Amino acid sequence: MTRRKPPPTEDEAALFRDAIGPVRRLPEAATPASRPRPEPRPHMAERDEHEARGEFHAMLGEGRLEAGDSLRYRRDEISPRILRRLARGQYAVQDELDLHSADSAQAEAWLKRFLAEARAGGSACVRIVHGKGRHGDGPPALKNLVDRLLRRRADVLAFHSAPPAQGGTGAVLVLLRPR
């Protein structure tokens, strides 16, 4: 515990003033202004905006699929042999979703719900019919949406465009991770 010195007595203060001599009082100085605080930044909103812009640019970028392009994807843990078997239609399709009548927002919601329900129901292989996209004047929107969403989902192990007898490049077969 530290001890504080008692304040100087009147005699000590007088001795100090005598030793120093006459003093001149300095003018009162204004207190220095503190630096202004920076404006708060909405970091989460900026991050979300950045991610949304990235997705939008990826959607517009050169990775877009055309009407006749085949979809294919596999996770690293899935062997190329399994993807080849999927491409030949050698897995039994246990459920199907047809997105023909949906716009992009509806298709996204339907696809997410369908995959969650299929996986909860124990389905291992499902077919998603997105159409070939030959009626529009540009890349097929639903086909690109399905490709992008399936690649991002952790419960999707692999997918490939269906064989011609099952819809060809207008449908995709999807292998789901077991529950």
Q: Does the pTM exceed 0.85?
A: no
Q: How many helices and strands in the chain, by DSSP H and E?
A: 5, 5
**Residue-wise pLDDT tens digits, 105-152:** 899 999 999 999 999 999 999 999 988 766 666 677 888 889 989 998
45: CB partners within 8 A, 6+ apart: none
Calpha distance 158→78 (Å, rounded): 7
In this prediction, residue 60 has a pLDDT band, given cuts at 50, 70 and 90, of low
- Provide mean pLDDT across the span 63-89: 85
User: What stretch of H or E contains 108?
Assistant: helix 104-120
- Residue 49 predicted with pLDDT over 80: yes
Burial class for 155, CB neighbours closer than 10 Å (0-12, 13-18, 19+):
middle
- Domains contained in the chain, CATH given: 72-176 (3.30.1370.110)
- Residue 69 predicted with pLDDT over 50: yes
- How high is the pLDDT of residue 59? 56
